[in-house]
Amino acid sequence: MPLRHILLAVMVTAVWGFNFVVIRLGLGTVPPLLLAALRFVVASLPVFFLPRPKVPLWRMLAIGMTLFVGQFAFLFPAMKLGMPPGLASVTLQSQAFFTILIASIVLRERPKPRQIGGALVAGAGLLTIASTVGGDFTTIGLVLTIASAISWASGNILMRGAGKVDTLPMIIWLCLIPPLPLFGLSLIFEGWPAIVTAFADANLVSVASVLYIAIPTTIFGFAVWGFLLKHHPASTVAPFSLMVPLFGTVSSWAVLGETFSPLRVLGMALILIGLGTIVLPLPGFLRRAPAA
């Protein structure tokens, strides 16, 4: 991979990692479900310039409801109800663990020993993080974040069934699905007065938060990610995603002053080691061992 493409990959993961800080800032002025809905309203605007993916409507709806509606209907409230941004950026990556689990159940895929080992290590990391509930970190925040990861994993399985499609058009067209369900959920759980107040009291922080999580995070991020996947094997591009929680934790510490106890650091390290075991390529001598 040429240096300019490496820099692009690092830039995208930095944008995605800092996104957790921006979400936290946005939640200070906008209710979580409304914030998620507004994100997709803005992110769907390029749909007028992109062709519709050749994917059945039922699958598009199923992917949109899991990958976007379910994921963010759980994640944004989780961060409002006591899931620190840095911790959320790592815990959410457990979606890789749940993707393997769901694929083994639904698709009857037999996980490889390396995937099983990595998943067990990541699971141990989740349990370690769960043991640190208290203070700024709540049980409901953790449960909702894990539910978000499971919804993301379900969307991954459905996305695989869509076949080979261009990443950016697929993502933008999927962005048409969440606004109405999320607005409906916001109306039910947050109430019309809270929605009206959020618009009436909109300020630079709330507007900038919506624009950031819609444009750099969604449109720019997936455009670049799709570009990289077109030019390089997925096995080369995917490992860069491990930098998202790194940027998430560092930016949360630098901007919001989030602190991490030794147990939380251990839990996050175990999750990242487990995910690295799953997605990083084996060293050459290990790949040759079976043949030898």
**Residue 268 tokens, joined:** 């996050």
pLDDT per position as a tens digit, 6-27: 899 889 999 999 999 999 999 9
Residue 201 CB burial class (10 angstroms; 0-12, 13-18, ≥19): exposed
Report how far apart, in Å, the C-alpha atoms of 231 and of each of 5, 50, 72, 224 are.
9, 20, 30, 11
Q: Give the largest CA-CA distance in the chain.
A: 69
Strand, coil or helix: 94: helix
**Which pLDDT score is estimated for 140?**
94
CB 219 within 8 A of CB 49: no
CB 256 within 8 A of CB 24: yes
Domain span at 161:
3-288
**Which pLDDT score is estimated for 288?**
52
Percent of the chain at pLDDT above 70? 95
Instruction: Please state the rounded mean pLDDT for residues 161-185.
Output: 92
**pTM of the full structure:** 0.89
In terms of Cα–Cα distance, which of 164, 173, 166 is closest to 49?
Answer: 173
Report whether pLDDT(290) > 70. no
Instruction: Please state the rounded mean pLDDT for residues 153-179.
Output: 90
Distance, in Å, from the CA atom of 36 to the CA atom of 198, rounded to the nearest integer, reads 13
DSSP string, 169-183: HHHHHHTTSSHHHHH
Number of residues assigned to the chain: 292
In terms of Cα–Cα distance, which of 248, 250, 227, 242 is closest to 274?
Answer: 242
pLDDT per position as a tens digit, 116-144: 888 888 888 888 888 888 777 899 999 99
**Which pLDDT score is estimated for 174?**
94
Greater pLDDT, 68 or 115: 68
128 CB-near residues (< 8 Å, 6+ apart): 263, 264, 266, 267, 270
Distance, in Å, from the CA atom of 73 to the CA atom of 37, rounded to the nearest integer, reads 9
In terms of Cα–Cα distance, which of 31, 23, 179 is closest to 92?
Answer: 23
pLDDT per position as a tens digit, 227-286: 887 888 766 777 788 788 889 899 999 999 888 888 888 988 888 888 888 777 655 544
In terms of Cα–Cα distance, which of 13, 171, 147, 159 is closest to 88?
Answer: 147
| Total number of domains constituting the chain | 1
Average pLDDT, the chain: 88
